[in-house]
Amino acid sequence: MTKRAPLHPEEEQRQALLDSYEILDTQRDEKFDRLTRLASRLIGTPMASITFIDRDRQWLKSAVGIDTEETARADGFCAYTVLNDELMVVEDAAADKRFYDNPFVTGEPHIRFYAGAPLTSRDGLAVGSLCVIDSKPRVLAPEQRRLLKDLAAMAVDEMELHKSIKQLHKRQVELQRTQDGLRAANKRLEELASTDALTGIANRRTLDACMVRELRRAARKRSAVSLLLIDADHFKMFNDLYGHQAGDACLRMMGEVLRAALHRPGDLAARYGGEEFAVFLPDTGALGAMQVAEAIRAEIEARRIEHSGNEDGVVSVSIGVATLVPDIGGEPRELVQEADSALYRAKEQGRNRVCAAEQTAQAARGSVFATVTRH
* Model pLDDT for residues 27-74, shown as the tens digit of each residue: 999 999 999 999 999 999 999 999 999 999 999 999 999 999 999 999
User: How many Å apart are CA 339 and CA 374, to the nearest integer?
Assistant: 19
Report the DSSP pairing between strands 47-53 and 126-134: antiparallel
**Distance separating the N- and C-terminal Cα atoms of the chain:** 91
> What's the whole-model pTM score?
0.57
Q: pLDDT-based confidence at 4, cuts 50/70/90? A: confident
* pLDDT in the model for residue 363: 64
Phi first, then psi, for residue 14 (nearest 5°) are -65, -45
Tens of pLDDT, residue by residue over 326-343, are 987 778 999 999 999 999
Answer whether 280's CB lies under 8 Å from 204's CB. no
Torsion of CA 330, 331, 335, 340, to 10 degrees: -150
Please tell me the distance from the alpha carbon of residue 82 to that of residue 56, in angstroms, as a whole number: 14
Sheet holding 225-232, edge to edge: 268-273, 276-282, 225-232, 317-324, 354-356
Which residues are 276's β-sheet partners? 231, 273
Long-range contacts of 90-94 (CB under 8 A, 24+ apart): 90/114, 90/115, 91/137, 91/138, 91/139, 91/140, 92/137, 94/137
DSSP 3-state of 323:
strand
Q: What pLDDT shows up at residue 372?
A: 33
Cβ count near 150 (within 10 Å): 15
Q: Which domains does the chain have, with CATH numbers?
A: 11-169 (3.30.450.40), 204-371 (3.30.70.270)
DSSP secondary structure letter of residue 372: -
Long-range contacts of 25-32 (CB under 8 A, 24+ apart): 25/59, 26/61, 28/61, 28/62, 29/61, 29/62, 29/158, 29/162, 31/158, 32/61, 32/62, 32/155, 32/158
The residues with which 265 forms a beta bridge, in sequence order, are none
Q: What is the pLDDT of residues 138-191, one digit of tens each?
A: 999 999 999 999 999 999 999 999 999 999 999 999 999 999 999 999 988 887
Say which of 12, 174, 190, 275 is annotated catalytic. Answer: 275
**Average pLDDT across the chain, whole number:** 92
| Beta strands at 70-72 and 88-90: parallel, antiparallel or unpaired | unpaired
Nearest to residue 131, comparing CAs of 183, 87, 193?
87
- Give mean pLDDT, residues 342-367: 84
- Per the annotation, the verdict on 275 as an active-site residue is yes
